[in-house]
Structure 1
Amino acid sequence: MGYVPYDELPEFLSTADVGVHPLIKGPINHEVALSTKFFEFMQARIPVVVSDVKAMSEAVKTTGIGEVFTAEDTGDLAAALKTVLSDPGPYREPYSRPELLDRYTWERQSEVYDEIYRRLLLMPARTSPSPSPTSI
């Protein structure tokens, strides 16, 4: 497959039965970060099967959008895929709650970052959302 433009990616991915992210354990960033691909799967609203790296596996368990397998264990990967593919409905259901996807938008994350930087810089909390570029 060739390159898929970013604005078409969620619709393109939504045709998949499941998103698989077999990240291996190793560098610290594998354990503490959620990858772009993970968010792309979420925006496409597809069930996911991910390896047991810390942040990604915790996010999957907390949200209920998929199954976790032991990294580099092909048998465990196959079992997780079989579980999801045999009954994908329960893994798609969490996407019907708007707050799930809203939590992982850039707009929401920018609010979190703003709050962190304000605390670090000892600035007062923002009392209202910043104006959007179109309202200036």
Structure 2
Amino acid sequence: MTQTIFVLNGPNLNMLGKREPGIYGASTLADIEAACRREAETLGFAIEFRQSNHEGDLVTWIQEAGERGALVLINPAAYTHTSVALQDAIRAAKVTVVEVHLSNIHAREAFRHHSFVSPVAKGVLCGFGADGYVMGLRALAAFTGHDKQ
């Protein structure tokens, strides 16, 4: 059975390509999804790619990933800095998570330096733009030993 990776995207990421391209790049979320699908196929994973502007949807999807034994690559966007609920969901679901951000959150406003997700993530990628998603998929493959199969 093929293992699944949930690629979860938080608020405003549906606006990529239009929203502050100097910070977030020119790639759209559809571009990122296509790159993730190509990489997941290469790595031998199935992929569930989702985006929501609602925190509860992300919590529900993390729980679903846990129930299905899936891995999670998440860009929590603004919820990174505010959501105890996401941290609790990741901890409760016992999922392996890689956190990804398009921009380097540590080189931005001070309020962006703290993440509620990082303490429960296996790793964090930030500042690599859309390429960070592909790096995150590769990291999940390496963490699970899937890259050696």
Q: TM-score range by the shorter chain?
A: 0.3 to 0.5
| Higher relative contact order (Cα pairs below 8 Å, separated by 6+ residues) | 2
| Higher strand fraction (1 or 2) | 2
| Higher helix fraction (1 or 2) | 1
Q: TM-score, normalised by structure 2?
A: 0.37
Q: TM-score, normalised by structure 1?
A: 0.40
